[in-house]
Chains A and B, each alone.
Chain A
Amino acid sequence: MIPIPDRLVGALLGAGPGYMPERASSVAEGVDQVFGLLFWVSAFFLAVIVGLTIVFVIRYRARPSRPGPEASPDHSTRLEVIWTAIPLLLVFVIFAASTRVYLAMTETPPGAAPQRVQVTGKKWSWWFDHDAGKGSKELHVLLGRPVELVLASTDVIHSLYVPEFRLKQDAVPGRFTRMVFTPTRAGTYPVLCTEYCGTNHSTMTSIVVVHPDQASLDAWMQEGKGKEETLLQVGIRAFDEKGCSACHSVDGSPGVGPTFKGIWGKTHDLVGGGKAVVDENYVRESIVKPGAKVVAGFEDMMPPTPLDDREIQGIVEYLKSLKEGT
């Protein structure tokens, strides 16, 4: 018997998704289902278009036995309504199916608290600061545990893409972006850059290792640990050097500015109305442009503070560590 490649079987049964890379994240299956739906809708309409073209050209082509066109109407409101309504209905179905999957893929997956990794893109490599304090050129995650990546860039726009995860997110200088998923298959997968970034754009690659168990991930985390300054250490150093403590306490005591204790994730009322959640982008803005969103009850008096991207990421880690009740 002739061996039929799995991909071909997949292509015939599941159509489009058969051509996709293997699935290694929680979002892949939903994406592939939508892909399959679109593939079959497209195949149907393409068959109609090409089929009718061929049939009509053969039947109605000019030839000696056919002196001219036959009488036929030049409009039909009923037909127009039909071929407007059916595609419109399909658009609603496609939109609903796709949006449901999309909203799920951008929510933090349920389950254990996510592993947070700060990702930094720069020409032409990736850097991953894992929450256990280890920085690496590779991303290491655990099978079945949700992951939250917070992406930044130090120069131009990059985009982190893992085909096996069906996920992609731009890393934009001057702001933080976010990507969430749960790895569902142990193994090593390529990490690519998909936003054009110059000379070595096509070799700005890395790998993501999905560890099958906690022991394996822990072993990797311990390797060579302590050699480099962790993000948390960078943050504490920046906090001390810039004299932040003059106005912001870290133990909950009141000061000229809001205390940092328990501030991470809190929702603040702002001067002039509105609310803001203390997340990565709020922290960045409050450092670079302190007057933009001032917490109600405080004055707009902080000077803009020149921190580099890594120091801002460090401050974020520091704020996260200052939990209520510790």
Chain B
Amino acid sequence: MTGAPGTSAQAAVGESYLTHGRGIGSWLFSLDHKRIGIMYLALIAFSLFLGGVFAMVVRFHLWNPSGGLVSNDAYNKMFTLHGAVMIFLFVIPGIPSAMGNFVVPLMVGAKDVAFPRVNLLSFWLFVAGAVLFVATLVVGGIDTGWTLYPPYSLESSRGLGILLALTGVFLAGFSSILTGVNFIATIHRMRAPGQGWFDLPLFLWALYATGIIQIFATPVLGITVALGFLERVFHLGIFMPEYGGDPVLFQHFFWFYSHPAVYIMILPAMGIVSEVVAVFSRKPIFGYRFIAMSSIAIAVIGFLVWGHHMFVSGQSRWANVIFSFLTLLVAIPSAIKTFNWLATLYKGHIVLKTPMLYVLSFFAIFGVGGLTGLFLGALATDIPLHDTYFVVAHFHFVMVGAVMIAFLSGLFYWWPKMTGRMYDERLGVASAVLVFLGFNVTFIPQFLAGTQGMPRRYATYAEQFVGMNRVSTVGAVLLAAGLLVALWAFVASLRSGARAPANPWGGATLEWATTSPPPHDNFAVAPRGTRPYDYRGLRQEPGQAGWVPVGGEGAR
């Protein structure tokens, strides 16, 4: 849409990336990071819905100790697909691919990511991976658990399903690697003039640390599933004892990726928390450099703790001792972040809007998730708790509680920027409260069940656990209701939301310096770097006009 000279400034007022180019093709093959981000968001939201449906089947099956809603085999497929879809198609790509794609170039004042074509390729690899997962369902599903442990996962009785799933993981993994490469290159090379490393928003520090993990750990996942594929087809003797392989080797490879993957999930979530807590406290983030460096520390130490998934696998006891120590150590940078966030609230001007409510609930839930990790990092307590519902509750607190809640916080925070529309604050608040309550009611009983010895992945269970399971199922319904209210808020916003101002929350990072939604090229004039958490240059306009620079446009 090239206008004649002299009309471009006028065109920019009415035009945004949403109206730049029409038709389905202009979306599917768009090189615009914003459109790619929105397409990721749509796919990831659908994955969350699908994974959620599987979760509800699991929870309702467990209403009675003898199961009974579906057969054992169907139950086993349900929890496998729930885990696989949620992990590979929701929590891992969720924040980086959907929100990162949209926000990263804006935050550095660039027109796009460093490699827009690679970005589109990454998106389509992800689509291909997701399609293969769905195809797995069509050919009858898999019941291996998302961890795909051989020998069970590679038994000769298994057909097409496992091969489709392995290929799907492989493709989704490559998508993740390419996204990481793109973000690192963008952050290195495309920062606005005057934007030094310590002027970066902390969300970018978090995504930078995430990119390191994506680039160095994900190839190992690719190799592992490729070896699994070859082992299943050609019986090479890598993982299967019957051909001379070692199943524990698979666990080493798998967790060498999949534990750092937990940090691929949680680091971007922490990045969102850092943005939101500062903006809604109206004061600079406390301890910027410590938060930034703790992201890097988590990324580095996170590579050295994979063995804690294998404390009862028969690995040497001294290996266990070393992995236990390193695992406990990774708690430190997380603790540093938490204390800095709390210090940011101190003497602030705390505005309790939806994104902030989600962040406040993040503090409590991430607190529980992190602290219960100590029980599993310490050897003496991990031995009885390993593979029980205690573990299920722990990782749901981290991966669902913390990551999904931060995802929702970020979505409510950037929604006006993405769509140019505000949402009904009452619906946002209702969703935040319901999600927090529903989440706790679902997963706190699972800590108790695990402590008393209920193993995970059980289609049926002992009578003593019936009360806890029922409370958990009721909680899951509440949680689902909270998510549906959030969906309602977004749909209503698209249909009839008020126009969003450029800067509805008073953020000082660069994405708020352009219009909502941004134009195709992001900024009418290339911006200079700002101090990301200095709010003194902004004042709030009356009504719905949001925040503007003190002294009018161009004063920044």
Residues of A within 8 A of B (CB): 16, 19-21, 30-31, 34-35, 38, 41-42, 45-46, 49-50, 52-53, 56-57, 60-62, 66-76, 79-80, 83-84, 87-88, 91, 94-95, 97-99, 101-103, 105-106, 155-157, 159, 161, 163, 166-170, 172-175, 177-178, 190, 192-203, 288-289
Contact = CB atoms under 8 A, between A and B. Distances in A.
Measured as residues with beta carbon below 8 angstroms from the partner, the interface class of chain B is 35 or more
Interface string B188-208: 000000000000000000000
Given A50-B364, A60-B347, A69-B281, A87 B151 contact: no
A151 to B, nearest CB: 8
Contacts of B460: 202-203
Contacts of A199: 72-73, 76
26 contacts: A45-B367, A49-B338, A49-B363, A53-B360, A56-B345, A60-B346, A60-B350, A68-B349, A69-B282, A74-B284, A75-B287, A87-B331, A98-B380, A99-B325, A105-B383, A156-B155, A157-B152, A170-B313, A174-B246, A190-B462, A194-B386, A196-B149, A198-B143, A199-B72, A199-B76, A200-B72
Given A102-B379, A170-B313, A21 B351 contact: no
Contacts of A163: 384, 452-453
Closest 10 CB pairs of A and B: A174-B241, A163-B453, A98-B378, A102-B379, A202-B458, A177-B314, A42-B371, A101-B380, A56-B345, A194-B387
Interface in B112-161: 143, 145, 149, 151-152, 155
A81 B27 CA distance: 50
A98 B455 CA distance: 22
Given A19-B451, A74-B287, A156-B152, 9 more contacts: A67-B349, A79-B343, A83-B336, A87-B331, A94-B374, A95-B324, A168-B312, A169-B314, A170-B313
Interface of B: 72-73, 76, 143, 145, 149, 151-152, 155, 241-242, 244-248, 281-290, 312-314, 317, 320-321, 324-325, 328-329, 331-332, 335-336, 338-340, 342-343, 345-352, 360, 363-364, 367-368, 371-372, 374-375, 378-381, 383-384, 386-388, 448, 451-453, 455-462, 533
Contacts of A101: 379-380
Contacts of B312: 159, 168-170
B250 to A, nearest CB: 10
Nearest to A289: B244
B317 A201 contact: no
B379 to A, nearest CB: 4
Contacts of B381: 31, 34-35, 38, 98
A225 to B, nearest CB: 32
A104 to B, nearest CB: 9
Contacts of A61: 350-352
Contacts of A94: 328, 374, 378
Nearest to B321: A99
Contacts of A168: 312, 383-384, 386-387
